[in-house]
Amino acid sequence: MLNINQLTITLKDKLILDKLSLEIHPGEIHVIMGPNGSGKSTLAQVLAGNPIYNVSNGFVLFKGENLLNQKPELRSLNGLFLAFQSPVEISGLNNMYFLKSMLNAHRKFKNLSELDSIEFLTLIDLKIEQLKIEKSSLGRNFNNGFSGGEKKMNEMLQILLLEPDLIILDEIDSGLDIDALKLVMFNISSLLKKQKSFIIITHYTKVLEYIQPNFVHILSHGKIVKSGTREIAFQIEQVGYENIH
Amino acid sequence: MKTYIKSHKTLNLLLDSQSSPLVVVEMEKESHLFLTKINFAKKKEKNRIEVLLNGENSTCEIKVIDLVGEDHLLETEIFVFHNEPNCKSNQIHKGLYKDSAHGIVKSMIFIDQKAGKSNAMQLSQNILLSSFAKVSAKPILKIKSMDVECKHGVSIGFIEQHLFYYLKTRGMSDQEAKYLIIHGFISDILLTYFPSYEKALNLWINR
């Protein structure tokens, strides 16, 4: 699914990721933890195609294709999704209008007919029910005045609509209350059954109470310094990042 | 060509590019004006909306969208005169400029000495869709009464790149992302007053 090889990233001459390698197969969950500034979000943004980062070395294959020379929209259309740590707000843009445009852009790419408003309403009703999202949020402007948790649920709603193959969740747990987090994790488990892959970036071990990752990686100074089972995460909780060897 | 209207009641005016370039509306006591205009500029144009609040407790709400492309020049003037007490005005101007278009926006609030308890607001928001496009926006406030509440604001800028990037990560092409952001920028006026212009907006963006 995803093969990151010796990826080296700089931003304004500062080394952010240092020869990072990682391989993710269909249906796997990889949790990435690490102290602030270790490069976790940079990795997510580089995979999504943020143009501000400079790839100094290495390559990334997604479904066997070179990911790094693809524009962000092509990465998305090919099945990569980044749930942002801080999703943007777009004033005036109706949430429902955005969601329908997004889904139809993907359907057009797959040579499927675009959904009309009634077909889309039928689909979105099912998805908001899965996430227990208030229907009124669809009529609001995109993320405008949404709480942190509501924005994260709106990212999850997009995931349920698109069902991408590789889903990167950048601190999806921040801002979510415990009930919402359980719902998110329940839906992640459902997507896993469809062989979707996940990179979950988090600071906390809370998410590990609901899912069983295949690997937990510890990122420090742009490098993966340790990989293993979720026991590593619980170890960190007790001793901190500095004492992990 | 000039359009002159005098009203003593509630007046709804919907104007577009075919409307007269000079519209003067005189509002009498306790009358209310809702004036909305969408303007796809052609070559070199000058449009002026002049509202005279000549009766006590009269109000006006003016909403204008300007779309200027190619090498066209559009001058927009929105002048509101508070000539009597207890009047209220609200001007909202939204401008979009692409290619090597040039916009000049002058928004004026005049409050006469005898027009106490006036409440006036003006806002001009402008987005440049090309680095060759330009706009100058000049708010003019002439206030002769001390007992007024008056606010004004102007913004000029390009589409914020982080919004553009976010939409592209959702599979939108450059054109689709631009359309959604522009649509959002003017949707409050467009969808309420000019829903039939949605297609024209799409054509204008992609032209």
- As averages over each run of 10 residues, the pLDDT of chain A (245 residues) reads 94 90 95 91 96 92 95 97 95 94 96 94 93 89 89 94 96 87 88 92 86 91 89 82 69
Put simply, the answer to whether A94 touches B187 (Cβ < 8 Å) is yes
Lay out the sheet containing B32-40: strands in order across.
B10-15, B32-40, B59-68, B88-97, B118-128, B148-158
CA A43 and chain centroid, separation: 11
Q: How big is chain B, counted in residues?
A: 207
pTM, two decimal places? 0.88
| Cβ atoms A9, A1 nearer than 8 A | no
E strand intervals along chain A: 2-11, 14-24, 29-33, 54-62, 65-66, 80-83, 166-170, 197-201, 215-220, 223-228
Of A73, A109, A162, the CB nearest to B168: A73
Q: How many CB atoms lie under 10 A from the CB of residue B76?
A: 25
Instruction: Please list the residues that pair with B92 across neighbouring strands.
Output: B63, B123
Joined together, the tokens standing for residue A223 give 């490098």
| CB distance A8 to A58 below 8 Å | yes
The confidence score (pLDDT) of residue A24 equals: 96
Q: Which of B41, B50, B63 is nearest to B4 (CA)?
A: B50
Give the pLDDT mean for B22-38: 96
User: ipTM score here?
Assistant: 0.94
Farthest CA pair distance, chain A: 56
Contact A102 B172 (CB under 8 A): yes
What is the per-residue pLDDT across A44-99, written as a single tens digit (0 to 9) for each?
999 999 999 989 999 999 999 999 999 999 999 999 999 999 999 998 999 999 99
Contact call for A48 and B170, based on CB within 8 A:
no
SS3 B57: coil
Counting Cβ atoms within 10 Å, is residue A127 exposed (0-12), middle (13-18) or buried (19+)? Answer: middle
Contacts of B167 in chain A (CB under 8 A): 90
User: Counting one residue from A and one from B, how many pairs have CB atoms under 8 Å apart?
Assistant: 69
Do residues A9 and A215 touch, judged by C-beta distance below 8 A?
no
Q: Which residue has the higher pLDDT, B114 or A13?
A: B114
Q: How near does any CA of chain B get to the CA of A115, in Å?
A: 16
| CB atoms A49 and B169 under 8 Å | yes
Q: In what order do the strands lie in the sheet with A197-201?
A: A80-83, A166-170, A197-201, A29-33, A215-220, A223-228
Report whether B146 contacts B115 (CB < 8 A): no
CA distance A220 to chain B (A): 27
d(CA B120, CA B150): 5
For residue B134, what are the contacts with CB-CB under 8 A and spacing of at least 6?
A: B97, B101, B102, B103, B128
Chain B residues within 8 A of A102 when measuring between CB atoms:
170-172
Q: Looking at the predicted structure, is the pLDDT value of residue B26 above 90?
A: yes
Backbone angles phi, psi at A187, to 5 degrees: -70, -30
Please report residues of A whose CB lies closer than 8 A to that of B187: 92-94
Closest to B180 (Cβ–Cβ): which among A51, A98, A106? A98
Q: Hey, is the C-beta of A156 within 8 angstroms of any chain B C-beta?
A: no
Q: Would you call B111 helix, strand, or coil by DSSP?
A: strand
Contacts of A88 in chain B (CB under 8 A): 162-163, 166
How far apart (Å, rounded) are the C-alpha atoms in residues A60 and A69?
Answer: 9
pLDDT of residue A245: 59
Smallest CA–CA distance, residue B11 to chain A, in Å, is 26
Domain ranges across chain A: 2-243
Q: How much is the pLDDT for B81?
A: 98
CB distance A73 to B172 below 8 Å? yes
Residue whose C-alpha is closest to residue A177's, from A152, A154, A201, A160: A152
Q: How far is B68 from chain A (nearest CA, A)?
A: 21
Interior angle at CA A128, CA A76 and CA B164, nearest 5: 35
Those of residues 50-109 in A touching chain B at CB distance below 8 A are 50-51, 71-73, 75-77, 81-82, 84, 87-88, 90-94, 97-98, 101-102, 105-106, 109
Q: What tokens were used for B44? A: 């070199």
In this predicted structure, what is the pLDDT of residue A189? 87
CB contacts, 8 Å: B168 with chain A: 49, 71-73, 76
Q: What is the mean pLDDT of chain B?
A: 94
- CA A106 to CA A81: how far, in whole Å? 12
In B, minimum Cα distance to A106 occurs at B171
Any B CB within 8 A of A132 CB:
no
> Residue A174: beta bridge partners?
none
What pLDDT, on the 0 to 100 scale, is given for residue A210? 86
CATH entry, A2-243, from 3.40.50.300, 3.30.70.260, 3.40.50.1820, 3.40.640.10:
3.40.50.300
Contact assignment for A49 to B168 by CB distance below 8 Å: yes
pLDDT at B133 over 90: yes
Distance, CA of A210 to CA of A142 (rounded, Å): 29
* Closest CA relative to residue A152, chosen from A189, A184, A199, A106: A184
**In the predicted model, is pLDDT for residue B64 greater than 90?**
yes
Distance from CA of A93 to the nearest CA of B (A): 4
Single-letter amino acid code for the residue at B151? K
Q: Please answer whether residues A93 and B187 qualify as being in contact, where contact means their C-beta atoms are separated by less than 8 angstroms.
A: yes
CA–CA distance, B102 with B128 (Å, rounded to integer): 10
Q: Maximum Cα–Cα distance for chain B, whole Å?
A: 57
Angle of CA points B99, B104, B110, to nearest 5°: 155
Taking an 8 Å cut-off on Cβ atoms, the answer to whether A73 and B186 are in contact is no
**Residue A182's closest CA among A173, A174, A193?**
A173
Instruction: For B34-58, write each residue's pLDDT tens digit.
Output: 999 999 998 899 999 999 999 999 9
